[in-house]
């Protein structure tokens, strides 16, 4: 079937069910950042394959919204499909809400309510549309639909997790009392994995298992495909009063809830779940308690994560050595460089997977913030330009995320100036001391200031939280001037990743993960500071020393000394000598 035929089939079903619009987002039932093939209905129905976008199908028309990253690709993919491309952010292009406000009054819109956030459904409700949210029409058309992911679960041993399942469950049951709740529904996969000390491989780059969890005062119900669990795991869960139920049964079970006080996070729970319970129960919407608990790493997680970063640094340093020595001599492309880096990471026995798709952006590609090379965009890496490599790994000992911008051959003075200004930004945040209670919105200034003073900026956050062998993007903490209310507390890991992007020229980003730790406590309050977790040198070939003040030079030299001291014991003599050179004082 081509796209037009699929649309015909879908519209038949729409007419049979009195549906005026059918909406297809890009999401799984848990609103995860990445989705498995089973959930790629939008790509199936439109032919457009990008990571972001949503489709609205009317009885005579159809529209696909996507953002600037994908305009060119989407135009190509949508040719001859009769689907209109809606370029988000362009002038005179309505948002889907504006579109439906104008065209949707008293019409009926349908969608799979399991794949949209609660807030989306209520916004449509507000616009006066009738909503059908318990259908998945595409499923009737999609003959060879991939199956739901079916990876096997494994238990994360206490020596990795640092806190056992019973301790975590107790905290959450106590929290029910604190919030005057009778039960709690958790649907975000990183939360569930953290609570149960389980991991899997259901979502690309995220070591999680598709599941839902309900916490009652005396037991828990885990909704999951039982094939993912072996007897040992079932036994392990039952011992902690966790019952196993079928993945999809949650929707039937929660329908029966009456007069319960249900604790959940409206921003994380899908529309269908909330719709089924909101009328007969009291909803207490709060950020999941586990989200904050998970963000404060325990002592064992911290010790392990430091080890993971040492292992990861070895791979990165091997990669830099290989690249700098071979560029211009053998053919290297963005994709082959990514593969090479992966091969170095794989040399380590504790490496499990990459933590996100490797961004290897050479020259102008470095300026595309969300760029990841594919067969069509792949270009050769040659001397006299910059290569931005943003990558990370999942290890049993934790998750890494690092960006280094590598100088190849000779670069211009202006490139060095930009490279150095971004480094100033990075170092200024790394070096920050701050009072307990300070939020990421305030700390952001430390990183922005050196760029803002020069009329420069980067259009992304400075820092995101990172999980432990879990998602590489985990809240609640963020460092960004629009991030509100969440303080950076001792034990939190965030990235420190200022950048600078010159369209069609080059991109620069310097990213390390940093750990917030306690500093001095005195009559002025309790202070915190950062400790770098990432231990890979910055490329001195990009530095214009005249732009750094004495303090910044000291911070950099101290960091490089730390890198050498920690990482050189892992290296053979040749690499050790190379690292010594990379870490020499400026």
Binding site for its own copies (CB under 8 A): 431-435, 437-439, 441-446, 448-449, 452-453, 455-457, 481-482, 484-485, 503, 519-520, 522-525, 527, 549-550
Q: How far is the CB of 523 from its own copies (least distance, A)?
A: 8
CB of 414 to its own copies, least distance (A): 15
Q: Which is nearer to its own copies, 549 or 573 (CB)?
A: 549
Half-sphere exposure of 458 (CA within 13 A, CB side): 33
Q: Smaller CB distance to its own copies: residue 17 or 453? A: 453
Nearest Cα neighbor of 115 from 13, 189, 36, 24 is 24
Distance (Å, whole) CA 416 – CA 399: 31
**Least distance from C-beta 421 to its own copies, angstroms?**
12
Q: Which is nearer to its own copies, 331 or 545 (CB)?
A: 545
Please report, for residues 326, 402, 498, 574, the alpha-carbon distance to residue 584 in angstroms, rounded to integers and kept in the order given.
22, 21, 24, 16
- Residue reference for tokens 């809606």: 86
Asked if 509 contacts 403 with a C-beta cutoff of 8 angstroms, the reply is yes
Compute the least distance from the CB of residue 455 to its own copies, in Å.
5
For residues 470 and 461, is the Cβ–Cβ distance under 8 A?
Answer: no
Q: If we measure between CA atoms, which residue out of 554, 556, 555, 531 comes closest to residue 542?
A: 556
Specify the residue, 309 or 509, whose C-beta has the smaller distance to its own copies: 509
Nearest distance, CB of residue 528 and its own copies, angstroms: 10
* Cβ distance to its own copies smaller for residue 148 or 441: 441
What are the phi and psi torsion angles at 495 (to 5°)? -90, 160
Closer by beta carbon to its own copies, 361 or else 450? 450
3-state secondary structure of 512: strand
Cβ 357 to its own copies shortest distance, Å: 27
- Identify which of 394, 393, 359 has the alpha carbon closest to the alpha carbon of residue 378: 359
For residues 390 and 398, give the distance between their C-alpha atoms in angstroms, rounded to a whole number.
Answer: 17
Nearest residue (CB) to its own copies, 103 versus 431: 431
Q: Which two tokens stand for residue 2?
A: 């081509």
β-pairing, 512-522 with 493-496? antiparallel
Task: Specify the residue for token string 């310097």.
Answer: 510
In the complex with its own copies, which residue's Cβ is closer, 319 or 559?
Answer: 559
CB of 243 or CB of 438, closer to its own copies: 438
Tokens, residue 552: 């910044």
Least Å distance between CB 450 and its own copies? Answer: 11
Phi, psi (degrees; rounded to nearest 5) at 330 = -120, 165
Q: Looking at beta carbons only, is 121 or 450 nearer to its own copies?
A: 450
Nearer to its own copies, 102 or 520 (CB): 520
Supply the DSSP string of 155-198, one letter for each residue: E--HHHHSS-HHHHHHHHHHHHHHTT-SEEEE--HHHHHHHHTE
For its own copies, which is the closer residue by CB, 305 or 420? 420
| 466: nearest Cα among 518, 514, 537, 530 | 514
CB 249 within 8 A of CB 211: no
d(CA 361, CA 388): 5
Instruction: State the Cα–Cα distance between residues 7 and 1, nearest whole angstrom.
Output: 10
Question: Taking the complex as a whole, how short is the minimal distance between the CB of residue 360 and its own copies, in angstroms?
Answer: 25
Query: Closer CB to its own copies, residue 298 or residue 554?
Result: 554
293 or 547: CB nearest its own copies: 547
Going by their DSSP bridges, the two strands 525-532 and 433-435 should be labelled as antiparallel
CB of 387 to its own copies, least distance (A): 23
Tokens representing residue 165 in the block: 């399942």
> To the nearest whole angstrom, how small is the minimum distance from the Cβ of residue 268 to its own copies?
23
Instruction: Give me the least distance between CB of 505 and its own copies, in Å please.
Output: 12
Which DSSP category does 2 fall into?
Answer: -
CB of 217 to its own copies, least distance (A): 26
Q: How far is the CB of 101 from its own copies (least distance, A)?
A: 15
Instruction: Report H helices in 104-257.
Output: 118-126, 138-141, 158-161, 165-178, 189-196, 231-239, 250-255
To its own copies, the closest distance from the beta carbon of 284 in angstroms equals 16
- The span from the CA of 232 to the CA of 378, in Å, is 45
Query: Is there a contact between 547 and 424 (Cβ–Cβ < 8 Å)?
Result: yes
d(CA 111, CA 106) in angstroms, rounded, equals: 16
- Residue 570: Cβ-neighbour burial (10 angstroms; 0-12, 13-18, 19+): middle
């Amino acid at each position: 079937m081509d796209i037009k035929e699929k649309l015909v089939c879908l519209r038949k079903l729409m007419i049979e069910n009195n549906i005026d619009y059918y909406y297809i987002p890009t999401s799984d039932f848990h609103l995860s950042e990445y989705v498995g093939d089973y959930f790629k209905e939008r790509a199936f129905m439109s032919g457009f394959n990008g990571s972001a976008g949503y489709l609205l199908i009317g009885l005579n028309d159809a529209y696909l919204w996507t953002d600037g990253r994908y305009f060119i690709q989407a135009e190509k993919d949508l040719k001859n499909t009769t689907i209109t491309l809606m370029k988000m952010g362009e002038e005179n292009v309505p948002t889907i809400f504006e579109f439906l406000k104008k065209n949707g009054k008293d019409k009926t819109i349908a969608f799979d309510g399991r794949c949209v956030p609660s807030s989306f459904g209520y916004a449509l409700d507000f616009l006066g549309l009738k909503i059908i949210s318990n259908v998945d029409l595409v499923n009737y058309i999609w003959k060879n639909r991939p199956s739901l992911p079916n990876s096997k679960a494994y238990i994360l041993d206490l020596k990795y997790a640092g806190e056992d399942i019973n301790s975590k469950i107790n905290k959450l049951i106590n929290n029910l009392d604190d919030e005057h709740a009778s039960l709690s529904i958790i649907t975000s996969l990183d939360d569930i994995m953290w609570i149960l000390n389980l991991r899997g491989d259901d979502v690309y780059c995220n070591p999680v298992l598709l599941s839902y969890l309900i916490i009652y005062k005396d037991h828990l119900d885990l909704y999951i495909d039982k094939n993912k669990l072996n007897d040992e795991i079932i036994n392990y869960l039952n011992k902690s009063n966790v019952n196993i139920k079928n993945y999809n049964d949650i929707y039937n079970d929660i329908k029966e809830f009456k007069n319960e006080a249900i604790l959940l996070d409206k921003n994380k729970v899908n529309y269908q779940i909330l719709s089924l319970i909101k009328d007969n129960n009291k909803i207490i919407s709060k950020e999941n308690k586990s989200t904050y608990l998970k963000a404060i790493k325990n002592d064992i997680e911290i010790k392990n994560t430091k080890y993971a970063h040492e292992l990861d640094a070895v791979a990165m340093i091997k990669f830099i050595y290989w690249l700098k020595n071979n560029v211009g001599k053998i053919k290297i492309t963005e994709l082959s460089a990514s593969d090479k880096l992966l091969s170095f990471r794989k040399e380590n026995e504790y490496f499990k997977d990459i933590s996100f798709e490797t961004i290897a952006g050479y020259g102008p590609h470095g300026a595309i913030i969300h760029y990841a090379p594919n067969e069509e965009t792949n270009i050769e890496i040659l001397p006299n330009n910059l290569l931005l490599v943003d990558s990370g790994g999942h290890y049993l000992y934790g998750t890494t995320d690092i960006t280094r911008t590598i100088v190849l051959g000779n670069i211009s003075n202006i490139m060095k100036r930009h490279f150095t200004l971004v480094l100033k930004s990075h170092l200024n945040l790394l070096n920050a001391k701050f009072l307990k209670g300070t939020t990421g919105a305030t700390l952001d200034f430390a990183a922005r200031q050196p760029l803002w003073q020069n009329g420069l900026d980067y259009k992304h956050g400075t820092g995101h939280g990172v999980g432990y062998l879990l998602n590489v993007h985990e809240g609640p903490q963020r460092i960004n001037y629009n991030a509100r209310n969440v303080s950076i507390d001792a034990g939190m890991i965030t990235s420190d990743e200022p950048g600078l992007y010159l369209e069609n020229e080059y991109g620069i980003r310097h990213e390390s993960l940093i750990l917030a730790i306690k500093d001095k406590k005195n009559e002025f309050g309790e202070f915190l500071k950062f400790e770098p977790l990432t231990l890979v040198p910055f490329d001195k070939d990009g530095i214009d020393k005249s732009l750094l003040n004495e303090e910044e030079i000291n911070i950099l030299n101290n960091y490089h000394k730390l890198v050498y001291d920690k990482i050189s014991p892992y290296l053979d003599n040749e690499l050790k000598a190379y690292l010594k050179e990379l870490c020499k004082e400026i």
